[in-house]
Amino acid sequence: MTTSPVLPAVKTRNLLPWFALAGAAVIVVCVALWPPSSSMSDLRVYFAGARGFVDGDDIYTVNQKYPGMGLGFTYPPFAAMIMAPLAIGEHFARLLMTLLSGVSLLAVGAVTARALRPQWSRDRLIGAGLFCSAAGLLLEPVSSTFGMGQINLVLLALLMVDLLGHTPRRFRGLLVGVATGIKLTPGIFIVFLLVTRRFREAAVATAATAGTLLLGWLVMPGPTVDFWTRYIFDPSRPGPAHYISNQSLRGTIARLTENSGATGPLWLLSATIVGAGGLAVARRLYAAGRSLDALVVTGFTGLLVSPISWSNHWVWALPATAVVWSWVGRGTAMKVFATAWTLVFALGLPWWAPWADDKEFHHNFPQALMGNSYLIAGIALLVTSVITVVARPNATALQSDPVQAVR
């Protein structure tokens, strides 16, 4: 009788230090590409609002103290309060925002990978998340967010971490409320929580939003009243709606109608239809156990119906690109769709059409397609999401979905 040789134990290599270095490298690349010496035009608005809050000035008119700053602060007073550290100095503000955006980018990549492939090993998930984050820098909305010093990636991370179940259960909805208190538009996710019957989270999010608004009024009562009675109803305050960067329904309609009197009614009608349809699709996806797909559809619905959705607001393109590529196993048509869809955001296609000085009013058909390509891609995402559910409903997804498994 022979005995089998004893095989030596195989040591599993600890990859965590290498992953940490890779994550740090992503942050370093972000700072190198967008250093504190960058102009970051939108961050100047944040800085002015933060300085106004710290100095006791009116945060909505303080921009007049800064030469060359045409746009004023457009967020609720609570946003100026949490941005107070930016008031230390513009160079510090740029560095801080870049670091926060870089960390948020890594968080978005991590939770995206976890939501799409919950069955993967830890190391494989971390590697996929890092790849997703690094690849995200190639998308125009992401690079524009860094280049302009915008807060979009931070808000995206808050929403995804909360809504995908990465916060303690009793606090879920809190980060959604905080994000809504900063910029209002994330409030569509409170509606999403309601239509998916996550009532406790919706209540927490609503209470958190109310808390931010109350805090803003207690600290800055005058600006709070002005915001809710004047500035929120001023469509020109963020900039002209027809500007090529505005890829919402209202932006497209304004370009096609040359900002005529029909723009407002047409936008309200189309926003109502798309908003209701998008949330219905999101509910269907969530019921099928596809939580990330549902979040992405909700995010794009919010971008479509919002009065202003500048190209840098479309950072939902990052998790959406991962979702779209997760569909490629459904056939050649999906591979073509995923490739074309990704190229729209990688190339920043709207900027290929003539823009500025009202050139947006004179696009021919190919230019109009390019000039409104984010909106077209958003609607295509909603339609294709419906097709993927109808064509192949995922009956077993509910068992593996990391968000619904803990509910």
pLDDT digits (tens, 9 = 90+) for 138-156: 999 999 999 999 999 999 9
Residue 66 has pLDDT above 70, yes or no: yes
| pLDDT at res. 10 | 45
pLDDT, mean over the chain: 92
Residue 182 has pLDDT above 90, yes or no: yes
CB 401 within 8 A of CB 296: no
- Distance, in Å, from the CA atom of 66 to the CA atom of 302, rounded to the nearest integer, reads 32
- Distance, in Å, from the CA atom of 275 to the CA atom of 191, rounded to the nearest integer, reads 11
Q: Running DSSP on this structure, what letter comes out for residue 243?
A: S
Question: b vs e for 154-176, b when ≥16 Cβ sit within 10 Å of the residue's Cβ?
Answer: bbbbbbbbbbbbbbeeeebbbbb
| pLDDT at res. 395 | 40
> Sign (positive/negative) of CA torsion 321, 323, 325, 330?
negative
Residue 1 has pLDDT above 50, yes or no: no
Residue 277 has pLDDT above 60, yes or no: yes
Residue 397 has pLDDT above 60, yes or no: no
| pLDDT at res. 93 | 97
Does residue 406 or residue 399 have the better pLDDT?
Answer: 406
Q: What are the pLDDT digits (tens) for 96-147?
A: 999 999 999 999 999 999 999 999 999 999 999 999 999 999 999 999 999 9
Residue 330 has pLDDT above 70, yes or no: yes
The pTM of the whole model exceeds 0.85: yes
Residue 396 has pLDDT above 90, yes or no: no
pLDDT band at residue 69 using 50, 70 and 90 as cut-offs? confident
| pLDDT at res. 292 | 97
Rounded average pLDDT over 5-32: 82
Residue 400 has pLDDT above 50, yes or no: no
pLDDT band at residue 401 using 50, 70 and 90 as cut-offs? low
Q: Which residue has the tokens 């593996």?
A: 400
Which ranges in 117-248 belong to alpha helices (H)? 122-136, 140-148, 152-163, 174-183, 188-195, 199-219, 221-229
Rounded average pLDDT over 271-276: 98
> Where do the domains of the chain lie?
26-227, 234-407
- Pull the structure tokens for residue 246: 């505005």
